[in-house]
A and B are shown apart, each in its own frame.
Chain A
Amino acid sequence: NAGVMQNPRHLVRRRGQEARLRCSPMKGHSHVYWYRQLPEEGLKFMVYLQKENIIDESGMPKERFSAEFPKEGPSILRIQQVVRGDSAAYFCASSPGLAGGPNEQFFGPGTRLTVL
């Protein structure tokens, strides 16, 4: 069973460009989470999605950031008009839809975004 896949692993963008980060959850997992890790800091929650639905986007910046998890295909985190402050590692995690206690979140290897 392959783990959580993220691509690209490294992404370089110039200010004003768009960044698209992809996350394929583990097989059988229907819940996806995105976290951002700024340099020298811990991971900060951004958004939580189930198939075709955003459940909690309380950690998403109000502008330029969006996320989706379509019925088919990977989850996408999209950052429009990137700025230098968006440079960070973006981690995706997935969990199964099991009831009873917190489902373990399995993390991908992350995408390191560098904005020039």
Chain B
Amino acid sequence: AQTVTQSQPEMSVQEAETVTLSCTYDTSESDYYLFWYKQPPSRQMILVIRQEAYKQQNATENRFSVNFQKAAKSFSLKISDSQLGDAAMYFCASFKGGTSYGKLTFGQGTILTVHP
């Protein structure tokens, strides 16, 4: 079974600053994937970034990057140059590898507020 834990219920950041959201996970699988999803007030879930566990290089997508620490089972999301539109609930999620289909396991979420 996989578990995902987000220990920060809420975070805030000033516009244009950088913020890091934390996530830890537990899995017995050797092959797995990790994701960060964004849920704005519209409630639409949007994939932000994904990381393959077998890759040592941290994934980046424009202003979004991750710090993947496999031994520590940590997967944090860094948002650089924060924008007002980044305000949302952010969910960390895991996916068991070895298959193309299956369930995502989500953390509890972190509410991010961006101050102008």
Contacts and interface: CB of A to CB of B under 8 A. Distances in A.
How many interface residues does chain B have, given as a range?
A: 20 to 34
Interface stretch (B11-19, B68-76, B78-86, B94-102): B94-102
Given A102-B95, A109-B42, A109-B43, A45 B100 contact: no
Given A42-B91, A43-B91, A103 B103 contact: no
A40 to B, nearest CB: 8
Point out which of A35, A43, A59, A109 has the most chain B C-beta atoms below 10 A from its C-beta: A43
B106 interface: yes
Contacts of B108: 41-42
B105 interface: yes
Contacts of B107: 42
A103 B56 CA distance: 21
How many interface residues does chain A have, given as a range?
A: 20 to 34
A28 interface: no
Given A89-B43, A102-B33, A102-B97, A42 B106 contact: yes
Contact of A103 (B44, B100, B106): B100
7 contacts: A41-B108, A43-B91, A43-B106, A48-B101, A95-B101, A102-B102, A103-B101
Given A35-B104, A58-B103, A59-B103, 9 more contacts: A31-B101, A43-B45, A48-B102, A91-B45, A98-B100, A100-B100, A102-B100, A107-B44, A109-B43
The 4 closest A-B pairs by CB, nearest first: A107-B45, A42-B106, A45-B103, A43-B106
